[in-house]
Amino acid sequence: MTRQRIDDLRRELNRHNYNYYVNNAPEISDIEFDMMMKELEALEKEYPEFDDPLSPTHRVGSDINKGFEQAMHIHPMLSLANTYSVKEVDEFVSRCREGLMGEKFRICGELKYDGTSISLIYENRRLVRAVTRGDGEKGDIVTANILTIRSIPAVIQAEDAPDSFEIRGEVLLPWKAFERLNEERAYNEEPLFANPRNAAAGTLKMQNPAEVARRELDAVFYYLIGDNLPAGNHYENMQAAKRWGFKVSEHMALLDSMEAVDSFINHWDRERKDLPVATDGLVFKVNDLKQQLNLGFTAKSPRWAIAYKFPAERALTRLRFVSFEVGRTGVVTPVANLEPVLLSGTIVKRASLHNADIIASLDIHESDMVYVEKGGEIIPKITGVDTSLREQDACPVEFVKYCPSCGTKLVRPEGEASWICPNKYGCQPQIIGRIEHFVGRRMMNIDGIGEEISQTLHDTGLVENIADIYDLTAEKLMDKAGLGPKTTARIMDGIESSRHIPFERVVFALSIPYVGETVAKKLARGVKDIDTLMTADEEQLTAIDEIGSRIAGAIREYMTNEKNIAIIERLRAAGLQMEVEATGIEGSEKLKGKTIVISGTFAHNSRDRYKEIIEAHGGKNSGSISKKTDYVLAGENMGPAKLEKATKLGIPVIDEDTFLSMISNDDK
């Protein structure tokens, strides 16, 4: 039984590590994960005969993304031992005192920012490499994305900064930026990020630095490493880093006693709720660097530091009823409507239950008393039910079988968690949702048509589908929809301007299932025009970067529907852009059938420009090397792992001059 429990814990922890670090979609709270880890550590200590070098207790979770080049850390990025108990923090202070043989020491207390860890390497006072924590030994190189964060200095101007050093910190998404991002995702019916940490981690791993920049990441730094540091203690080094241009926490404090440590915890347990960024705890470090060295490390973490995590805030409130809401893609989402309750400074009245499986796993009954939790999450979620308070005759909450709007029987696609209303062209919330989406700022940007006016246009019969928008006139808007002259003029101007919106945004505006903004760009650049998109088969579609079989199947289903074909033809007749703008690249078929991986930095063109050139000459871009790769186009600072793999597979590695010669027209 003991061996079985150890195996089960290892399997579960590995799965949760993957969900947290790779998918950025944790299924359980930090405290649940930590409790499982502590149970496994205790069992392995008690039964050493069952030890395994690959156990989660011997590893730091990994966020390595195979789409990026990797680099080894100069110094391993270890995780901190953590606790939810003030008593255990006091025990840490006592252990430090014993380890230092009674020598006087100070503790530096600081906020534990809830972001994604980053290591920056500076040489000659210039940023040369930014690496994620990864598995602690190596991480992904994300320098281009880090350079989009304006609070991070690319070049150090201060004369007292050493020529070479490493600085570590947390990449963050401030609350305001996080809320804006989730509002956009909700509008596009994309899954919402649970918290700023997941959003920051996902953003940092995006392949498009322009999109990274748009999301407005920030960073706070917490540790300096190097041979010629300005001081022999952590606090003064971080103050120096602040002078050099790094954002450092303003709330660091030197603490001389256990009482001061406890007071620091009590203070921030209250005050952290007013901060502009997410925090999930505090960190306590021995301040003196020599004392840190003397205390040393365990296999997983430094002995001179500990993280104290704040317990998640939760409240008990009554479930009033569960409503079922239909989105523009037909997905039916259950929402718990609650008796209002104060949680993390806001009144919570509603919480998404996500899907039927969540309802079943929580075993929610009518009028149940439910636990609502926020903690580091900004989105309220129901985490449990107090069954002792359940009414005797309460019935289980059941997911609806028919659409709450149009009455159509719901379907559940194979392998999907969501139930969907298939009545795409007769279900009012779906129709209105597609109209709202089409006119949105990042789609066709038709100013003046929002949620309320979309409803009005549909209710009055003026707009049954998105193509009807281009049949609107000022007279119809004022006479039938009852709009004023200013609003009418704004809408008509927006309709006219939308005829010049680029093709990739037209593709996004069509509401093709699973085709979000990024996929729409890839798709548009891959097919080049609407006719190719309408006729492309699954094999042609999946050859496009980031288009998998599920997306390809959804595109084929959309493009073979007669109603959609008619709408697209009307949009074409209305003058919308139905092909990508010319890139100025004279194309050919010299790279037809060739798959090319780009790595490094270049002198003649940017990486994005080289991708356009490859596609213009019939080639295909790929983010990773495999047996199907024909060439690696290598610039400066090519990743050693990619070079090693290319050499092992016998794939030609060419520089940009050789590449440009290959596609030259001189041989015509």
The verdict on 542 and 624 lying in the same domain is no
The domain boundary residue, chosen from 446, 464, 498: 498
The domain boundary residue, chosen from 404, 421, 438: 421
Any idea what the CATH number is for the domain that residue 44 is in?
A: 1.10.287.610
Q: Are strands 116-123 and 165-172 parallel, antiparallel or unpaired?
A: antiparallel
Model confidence over 443-486: pLDDT tens digits?
999 988 988 899 999 999 999 999 999 999 999 999 998 999 99
Phi-psi domain of 281 (left: phi exceeds 0; alpha: psi -120 through 50; beta: other)? left
Any idea what the CATH number is for the domain that residue 248 is in?
A: 3.30.470.30
Q: Note whether residue 582 is domain-resident.
A: no
Of 45, 66, 87, 112, which is the active-site residue? 112
Least confident piece of the model among 18-27, 170-179, 307-316, 405-414:
18-27
The verdict on 356 and 227 lying in the same domain is no
Residue 668 pLDDT > 50: no
Q: Note whether residue 112 is domain-resident.
A: yes
The verdict on 148 and 223 lying in the same domain is yes
Amino acid at 520: A
**What are φ and ψ of residue 121, in 5° steps?**
-110, 125
Q: In whole angstroms, how far apart are CA 81 and each of 23, 91, 267, 303?
A: 23, 13, 22, 8
The verdict on 216 and 234 lying in the same domain is yes
The verdict on 210 and 295 lying in the same domain is yes
Residue 202 pLDDT > 70: yes
Question: What is the percent of the chain with per-residue pLDDT over 90, rounded to a whole number?
Answer: 46
pLDDT of residue 316: 92
DSSP E strand stretches across 124-251: 126-132, 138-140, 165-172, 218-225
Q: Are strands 595-599 and 620-622 parallel, antiparallel or unpaired?
A: parallel
Is residue 566 within 8 Å of residue 545, measured between CB atoms? no
The verdict on 92 and 201 lying in the same domain is yes
pLDDT of residue 521: 84
Question: Active site includes 112?
Answer: yes
Q: Note whether residue 580 is domain-resident.
A: no
Residue 344 pLDDT > 70: no
The verdict on 534 and 551 lying in the same domain is yes
Any idea what the CATH number is for the domain that residue 616 is in?
A: 3.40.50.10190
Residue 280 pLDDT > 70: yes
The verdict on 603 and 634 lying in the same domain is yes
**Maximum alpha-carbon separation in the chain:** 87
The domain boundary residue, chosen from 473, 498, 523: 498
Is residue 20 within 8 Å of residue 59, measured between CB atoms? no
What is the token pair recorded at 35?
């409790």
**What are φ and ψ of residue 126, in 5° steps?**
-120, 140
Could you tell me the residue range of the domain that residue 37 belongs to?
Answer: 2-58
pLDDT of residue 665: 64
Is residue 36 within 8 Å of residue 9, measured between CB atoms? yes
Mean pLDDT highest for which of 87-96, 267-276, 411-420? Answer: 87-96
Alpha-carbon gap, residue 61 to 78, rounded angstroms: 10
Q: Note whether residue 222 is domain-resident.
A: yes
The alpha-helical segments, DSSP class H, found in 244-352 are 258-271, 289-295
Which is more confidently placed, 543 or 119? 119
Which of these, 275, 380, 298, 373, lies nearest to 31 by C-alpha position?
373
Average pLDDT over residues 523-551: 89
Q: Note whether residue 110 is domain-resident.
A: yes
CB neighbour class for 439 (10 Å; exposed up to 12, middle 13-18, buried from 19) = buried
Alpha-carbon gap, residue 634 to 236, rounded angstroms: 42
Q: What is the mean pLDDT of the chain?
A: 87
Q: How far is residue 259 CA from its own chain's centroid?
A: 39
The verdict on 304 and 383 lying in the same domain is no
Contacting residues for 250 by C-beta, under 8 A, at least 6 apart: none
Residue 67 pLDDT > 80: no
Average pLDDT over residues 156-164: 89
Which is more confidently placed, 206 or 573? 573
The verdict on 374 and 268 lying in the same domain is no
Which is more confidently placed, 467 or 3? 467
Which of these, 176, 172, 182, 116, lies nearest to 149 by C-alpha position?
172
**Residues in the chain, total:** 668
Per-residue pLDDT band at 50 (split at 50, 70, 90): confident
Alpha-carbon gap, residue 418 to 424, rounded angstroms: 15
Any idea what the CATH number is for the domain that residue 320 is in?
A: 2.40.50.140
Any idea what the CATH number is for the domain that residue 479 is in?
A: 1.10.150.20
CB neighbour class for 476 (10 Å; exposed up to 12, middle 13-18, buried from 19) = middle
Question: How many domains does one find in the chain?
Answer: 6
SS (H, E, C) 27-74: CCCHHHHHHHHHHHHHHHHHCHHHCCCCCHHHCCCCCCCCCCCEEECC
The verdict on 487 and 439 lying in the same domain is yes
pTM of the model: 0.54
Average pLDDT over residues 196-225: 86
pLDDT of residue 373: 83
Residue carrying the six token digits 């796993």? 361
Share in percent of the chain as helix, strand, coil (round to 5): 40, 20, 40
Residue 667 pLDDT > 50: no
Q: Note whether residue 579 is domain-resident.
A: no
The verdict on 415 and 444 lying in the same domain is no
Least confident piece of the model among 15-29, 60-74, 331-345:
15-29
Contacting residues for 349 by C-beta, under 8 A, at least 6 apart: 337, 338, 340
Which is more confidently placed, 74 or 30? 74
pLDDT of residue 131: 94
What is the rounded radius of gyration, in angstroms, for the C-alpha atoms of the chain?
28
Is residue 255 within 8 Å of residue 106, measured between CB atoms? yes
Model confidence over 91-146: pLDDT tens digits?
999 999 999 998 999 999 999 998 899 999 999 989 999 999 988 888 889 998 89
Q: Note whether residue 589 is domain-resident.
A: no
Q: Would you give the DSSP letter of residue 328?
A: T
Residue carrying the six token digits 């007749």? 573
Q: Note whether residue 133 is domain-resident.
A: yes
Average pLDDT over residues 317-331: 93
Per-residue pLDDT band at 564 (split at 50, 70, 90): very high
